[in-house]
Amino acid sequence: MVEMKFLGGCRTIGGSAISISSDNKNILLDYGMMMGKPPKFPSIVSPKDLNFIVLSHCHADHSCGLPLLYSGTATPKLLTTPPTIDLARLIIFDTIKISKYFLPYEKQEVIQMIKNTQTFGYNKVKIKNGISLTFYNAGHIPGSIITLLEIDGKRILYTGDFNLSQTRLVNNAHIDFPNLDYVIIESTYALEEHPDRLQTEKDFFQDVKQIVENDGIVLVPAFGVSRSQEILLVLTKYNIKYPIHLDGMARTASLIIRDHPAFMKDFDFYKSALKKGKLISFHRKKRKERLAAMSKPGVIIAPSGMLQGGTAVMYLESLANNENNGIFLVSYQVPESPGRLLLDNGYFVSKEDHEKIMVDAKLNNYNFSSHADKNQLWKFVENLDLNPDAKIFCIHGEENACTEFTKKINEELEIEAYAPKTDEIY
Ligand SMILES: [Zn+2]
Ligand SMILES: [Zn+2]
């Protein structure tokens, strides 16, 4: 009998973790972190009992709890894709730097984790401890996977975070999975529709063009991994004639992604975009380069996407008081985040003196989401190839999104569906 225990990411977004066990087999899917001071982690698991761990992608809500499992003598194998481990390393080290005193682990555990990592590409069946597993492209960010497991004759699909529409950076998710028994699906946008992607690109480009042609500078605060590169590709696609600068983690992540051509939609286009983009260096020249970037019309892409920190905040302080400039947000802004406050009230709070600073630059927000939306999630579920008695588990979404999605699957498709709570076992 296969048993699933939901350890985190239940009726919320953050700290995703699922344990799957059967007889003597025991595996873990993701082990993330819930942001906050202090950050929170999924329910405790014993690393020595694990055959292996699968990491769906590098984002903190899936990866940043993993080092906790490498602090002792047990060293379970971590299975993932090559870009995911490289990007996870970047994200986890950055998390350590930012939340030093709040994190219950240090670099040493991360190094131990990397030592025990084994990487695979897409679409190849692997047998590990008698469990068959295959990674498929999830279309979310480079290296992200949908995992198909076969354990004791049961076929289990874990979508991780996935996207069914094309982006400039990665191809859309694989969707063909025969004879499934259990499906664990993300529900982030189960209640929301995304605007048309191409229209969003065009609007964004037009607005950027207007600013730079008017001698302004556009700051695009963006998450360093994936969203920053997506914005670079969009601007390159529309043939922008002005310089594009990438700073901080956006720069480092761009170079890591470049090392993994097989996980990208169009490597040649990516390479040419990266050549066009100007990477702000890390060391002694960086101050000079930053001043140069802010001295003439162009675009600056810098983390963090919600203005909670990172180099974007430094640029914001310099660029905010000029009405010719633009601050264009391209990520979801969680309530109470500095980015949300800026959009709603037109000000930000200075890091140095904690004063409210009103922003004269033009403000806007664009939906470049890398998750499936309401319609796509529904289409995906409707088209699933399920065995009799199959069950669907809706996780990784706000309470309402998970429960409403579950209810709709139950009622309209007559499939047994659940929105598990933390520590529930099925
Ligand atoms: Zn993600
Ligand atoms: Zn996630």
Q: State yes or no: cis peptide before 47, omega within 30 of 0.
A: no
Distance 295 CA to ligand 2 centre (A): 37
Provide the phi-psi class of 226: left if phi over 0, else alpha when psi is between -120 and 50, else beta: left
Cβ neighbour number for residue 72 with a 10 Å cutoff: 12
The C-alpha angle 103, 104, 110, rounded to 5 degrees, equals 90
pLDDT of amino acid 351? 81
Distance 290 CA to ligand 2 centre (A): 32
Cβ contact 398:9 at 8 Å: no
Which residue ranges make up each domain of the chain? Answer: 3-192+370-418, 197-365
Distance 306 CA to ligand 2 centre (A): 16
Distance 372 CA to ligand 2 centre (A): 12
Distance 84 CA to ligand 1 centre (A): 11
The Cα 161–Cα 29 span in angstroms is: 12
pLDDT digits (tens, 9 = 90+) for 315-326: 999 999 999 999
pLDDT of amino acid 205? 98
Distance 158 CA to ligand 2 centre (A): 12
Distance 161 CA to ligand 2 centre (A): 5
pLDDT of amino acid 281? 81
The Cα 354–Cα 257 span in angstroms is: 36
SS3 423: coil
SS3 332: coil
Q: The pTM is what? A: 0.96
pLDDT digits (tens, 9 = 90+) for 407-425: 999 999 999 999 999 999 9
Classify domain 197-365 at the CATH topology level: Rossmann fold (3.40.50)
The answer to whether 3-192+370-418 and 197-365 have equal CATH topology is no
Look up the CATH number of domain 3-192+370-418: 3.60.15.10
Residues of the chain with pLDDT under 70: none
